[in-house]
Structure 1
Amino acid sequence: MQTVRAVPTVSALNLRDLGGITLGPGRQVRPGVVLRAGRLGGLDPVDAAAVAALGIRTVVDLRTADERSSAPDSLPPGARLFVADVLGDNPGVTPARFRALLADPVEAERLLGNGKAEEAVAQSYRQLVLSPGAAAAYRAFIDTAADPAARPVLFHCATGKDRAGWGAALLLLILGASRDVVREEFLAVNPVLRAVGRPYVQGFLDAGGDPKIASAIIEVRPRYLETALAAMDERWGGLDGYVRDCLRVPGPTLRRLRSELVVYTGQ
């Protein structure tokens, strides 16, 4: 089993250290330098202290302007905020719009019924790869992760599953993780997502909502990641072309990432 350190918090949703993820024989992601999460607003005192203890220097917020306005981050002491709005040029596909449908079963059925929910979410993942605004945001995230003065870096979206999920997948692929390892990390957030989403899902179901719609919105699925990877492969021929021609990450940045974010275990 892949070992990923989930930081034990309640109000800091899906806070996870990418450190320890296997990149190949004898190689792992360096612990404590890149973490992912969902929202960082409204932390309780215990969780605020836990986040502060991580020594975060930079928080990369992948959310839209509306999301940032409605739920501002609670920055840990000494951290700077860096906004990298993944959906700034295409806010209509923001996952938050899917979650809002859990309050309106009739509208959810109209838009996402008859098996359309999973397809709609999957297609939003294509936009994470194909949108120019998303490319600029993920390039900025990669640049930040490569900057020693910016680390430790915590990057997040609203729930830590879609925009942050692709960001984690991208970074892990750059560092040399296999797609199987990336998929395992991508899906590992589901237990927390289901637990946190349970009250919203129950309300949706009690009002007559379709459980298939709710689960497609609340959780992540292999198809979502595969849709993003397929878009990358089709448009740019794979990771190298995507990073070079879409994100335009310079070679020295990639070499610094692979040098400084990887540890050798000798096993």
Structure 2
Amino acid sequence: MSIRLLAFDAIDNFRDYGDYAVGTGLRLRPGLLLRSAHHARASDADLERVKALNIGTVVDLRRAGERRDQPSRRPEGFDAQVIAGTVDDGMEAPHITFLKTEDLTPESGRRFMTGTYRRLPFDVSHRDVFSRYFRALAETDRPVLIHCAAGKDRTGFLAALTHHLLGVAREDLIEDFLLTNAAVDLDRRAPSVARQLEKMTGRAASHEAVVAFLGVEPDYLDAAFAEIDKRNGSLDAYLEQVLGVDAALRDRITARLSA
């Protein structure tokens, strides 16, 4: 198991996405870039572990409805800045709609996820949160935690975008993205998720379909990056034109996070 994974009782996929090489003799500083799934089920012991990390900013990538349905638990004395979307369209999360309306197969799950990744960089609420996140990276001296519901898609895309900005090699960027598949133990989790899905939808899904839906694949991230290239020409242009990460902001982020 990767040393990047941090042990928690009931917060999934908690890990450090710093400490990668970013140039000749330089590395991202460990302990400043953190990612996870939601914290709604955090145990009291988990809250103590979170408190010990001294997190200065929490970026909650979930929709307003998701935050209402599963409010985050916070440690005593919590004083971090919380960045969350301001758009509330009153709609349920797209993955819930998909699961309620379509049969889950490995093929349908992959089609849904690929389409989701193509749209993700340009969602109005996501763009605002992503932009505020990058400003926070430049301004705070404390660790920054990003999370969504499962900590794999919205979180995975934003972590990968951060790695690109900081100069992490593409193979390391992909390796970090795929670490979700080890962090979550998909084979062990799939049976309970399948039971929940059948209860919610009245339809049974195969073990293989659930594993495919719970995990991540390189093609998902490739789809997001390809759509960015199509619309903006490059990831760097997207960062500057869509998210407002200009050269000065990029330099401040790099200086704070690498050594």
TM-score range, shorter chain: 0.7 to 0.9
Say which of 125, 132, 139 aligns to 1:140.
Answer: 132
Partner of 2:168: 177
Instruction: Classify the secondary structure of the residue corresponding to 2:118.
Output: helix
Partner of 1:20: 19
Residue 130, structure 1, aligned to residue 122, structure 2: yes
Whole-angstrom distance in 2 between the partners of 1:251 and 1:20: 23
Whole-angstrom distance in 2 between the partners of 1:138 and 1:181: 21
Whole-angstrom distance in 2 between the partners of 1:137 and 1:169: 15
Aligned-pair CA distance for 1:24 = 3.6
| TM-score of the superposed pair, with normalisation by structure 1 | 0.84
1:44-55 mapped onto 2 (5 Å cutoff):
44-55=43-54
Partner of 1:199: 192
Q: Deviations over 1:121-141 (max 9, x none)?
A: 111011111223322221111
Residue 165, structure 1, aligned to residue 156, structure 2: yes
CA gap of 1:157–1:211, structure 2 versus 1, over 3 A, is same
Structure 2: gaps (5+ residues):
none
Whole-angstrom distance in 1 between the partners of 2:80 and 2:193: 32
Count of aligned pairs between the two proteins = 253
Kept in 1: contact 2:40–2:71 (CA 8 A): yes
The amino acid that maps onto 1:117 is: G
CA gap of 1:26–1:245, structure 2 versus 1, over 3 A, is same
Instruction: Classify the secondary structure of the residue corresponding to 2:242.
Output: helix
Aligned-pair CA distance for 1:81 = 4.4
Whole-angstrom distance in 2 between the partners of 1:158 and 1:27: 32
Partner of 2:102: 108
Which one is further off, 25-34 or 135-144? 25-34
Partner of 1:256: 252
The amino acid that maps onto 2:164 is: L
| TM-score of the superposed pair, with normalisation by structure 2 | 0.86
Partner of 2:74: 75
Structure 1: gaps (5+ residues):
none
Whole-angstrom distance in 2 between the partners of 1:93 and 1:87: 13
Kept in 1: contact 2:65–2:91 (CA 8 A): no
1:199-238 mapped onto 2 (5 Å cutoff):
199-201=192-194, 208-238=204-234
Aligned-pair CA distance for 1:79 = 2.8
Whole-angstrom distance in 2 between the partners of 1:260 and 1:81: 18
Q: Deviations over 1:242-262 (max 9, x none)?
A: 111111223221111111101
Instruction: Classify the secondary structure of the residue corresponding to 1:75.
Output: coil
Instruction: Classify the secondary structure of the residue corresponding to 1:247.
Output: coil
The amino acid that maps onto 2:10 is: S
Whole-angstrom distance in 1 between the partners of 2:247 and 2:148: 27
Kept in 2: contact 1:29–1:262 (CA 8 A): yes
The amino acid that maps onto 1:129 is: P
> CA RMSD, aligned part only?
2.7
Instruction: Classify the secondary structure of the residue corresponding to 2:228.
Output: helix
Aligned-pair CA distance for 1:97 = 4.2
Whole-angstrom distance in 2 between the partners of 1:61 and 1:152: 14
Residue 188, structure 1, aligned to residue 187, structure 2: no
The amino acid that maps onto 1:208 is: A
